[in-house]
Structure 1
């Protein structure tokens, strides 16, 4: 296989005007093991990875690779690699296009796995802090039913707190409602990881969203709450 012989130049081939189409085709038919090897070659050098992501032809090949990732380990490897270059990448016209969107979709679709991971939670935090309403709402939907548990996890509790801070009121209120209705609510308030709920209890912003969900017919504007 010609590509295998030139694997050390894979990034260059991905940026080539003619070979990038061939590389995309190879990614589509590659086995799990081959994708893992290709992935390792592409992300081993941050400078080269950023060059590919910012290149007109290279970014198309990256998109094709992302679309053919087959395991959580592969997705995790890409996320950690891109996290290292994400600031520069997000400022580039190609880097902030479809490839970045596709990567964010991958992160959100595996939000639960990464939220509880010692390092993966930082990636979820980065995405949440982008303050994209739809992205944060989708992330919340991925974590529904787990917020009480996550609130008592050292890594995950930070993600939950970020979701409350950087999501829209109604979306944040969904989290509060689930936690307050949990049988472990008191335990969460007493837990070192979950005690941020105590400070949230003094925030009118969160209670406004919560009341809107639980009592949709109430006029929140005329409700005066002592905090």
Structure 2
């Protein structure tokens, strides 16, 4: 079954069968697969079989597979196929296992965030684990939010934090660092997405702070490759009074020219 799982066509056959086969047949396959689970998780084809068991296996089978992640969270998070298995597991396993597993990443958060594979795991942790269980992740970002917002992987993680963080104090610390650097972020290739995210989903007073930072520079920003997208979002999401001021600045400066 191991050789079948790491073969492209055999792998597809197993995946299809797991969706519809009997409980007995599934258990028979599981018994053959589980001793090789660690190797399959990092295999180009085998990882899909493990993901299918997380999706269609019994609660006990999910638990046994999740136990195979213990002690392996960091290397799997940084591995191309292992990171996908972890993401699928975190969508489906019980909270107590998620909480146990996520703690293995304590001390390695920034390494994962900057990694093309690991950042997806951190995003999934933020999405699927309650904020009070992953405070070490949010704390790791303190003082580094602007830098992470300008990183191709980090900017995605910061956006997930803004969406899912339920600890008002910690979330405010993240937001304060974004607002402090709003002007620089608006002009950055990746940071502009974080600024747009706040304009779309943030509180009115947070939008107002961003608009205040951009005031006096709107024409310059409107001509900038990345900041122009932020100015568009300002006009779309600001209140009527703010919109009038923004338009007046843009038109007024153009008239003076």
- The TM-score normalised by the length of structure 2 is 0.51
Contact 1:79 1:107 in 2 (8 A): no
Task: From the two aligned structures, give the one with the greater helix fraction.
Answer: 2
Equivalence for 2:77: 115
1:155 aligns with 2:121: no
- Tell me the residue number matched to 1:80: 47
- The answer on whether the counterparts of 1:79 and 1:123 sit within 8 Å (CA) in structure 2 is no
Change (3 A) 1:58 1:195: closer
CA deviation string 1:178-213 (max 9, x = no partner): 2326xx5543232121123544675584433748xx
State whether residues 77 and 118 of structure 2, in contact with CA within 8 Å, keep that contact through their aligned partners in structure 1: yes
For the residue of structure 1 that corresponds to 2:154, the secondary structure is coil
Partner residue of 1:134?
96
Match of 1:194 among 150, 154, 163: 154
Among residues 56, 60, 75, which one is paired with 1:98 in the alignment? 60
How far apart are the structure 2 equivalents of 1:200 and 1:58?
35
Q: Number of paired residues?
A: 169
Q: Tell me, in whole angstroms, the C-alpha distance in 1 between the residues paired with 2:149 and 2:110.
A: 10
Aligned pair partner of 1:207 in 155, 167, 174: 167
In structure 2, relative to structure 1, the CA distance for the partners of 1:161 and 1:209 (3 Å cut) is farther
For 1:17-32, list aligned pairs within 5 A: none
Which stretch of structure 1 is more off in the superposition, 39-48 or 152-161? 39-48
Structure 1's 64 and 207: CA in aligned 2 closer, same or farther, altered over 3 A?
same
- Deviation larger for 135-144 or 54-63: 54-63
Change in Cα spacing, 1:203 to 1:102, as seen in structure 2 (3 Å) is closer
- Retained in 2: the 8 A contact 1:174–1:210? no
- Asked if structure 2 preserves the Cα contact closer than 8 Å seen for 1:151 and 1:157, the reply is yes
* Aligned alpha-carbon RMSD (Å): 3.8
Kindly indicate whether structure 1 or structure 2 has the higher relative contact order, using CA contacts under 8 Å at least 6 residues apart: 1
**In 2, are the aligned partners of 1:173 and 1:206 still within 8 Å (CA)?**
no
Equivalent residue for 1:145?
107
Question: Which residues of structure 2 form unaligned runs of 5+?
Answer: 172-204, 207-257
Determine the C-alpha separation between the residues in 1 that align with 2:22 and 2:154.
Answer: 40
Under a length normalisation based on structure 1, what TM-score does the superposition of the two structures give? 0.57
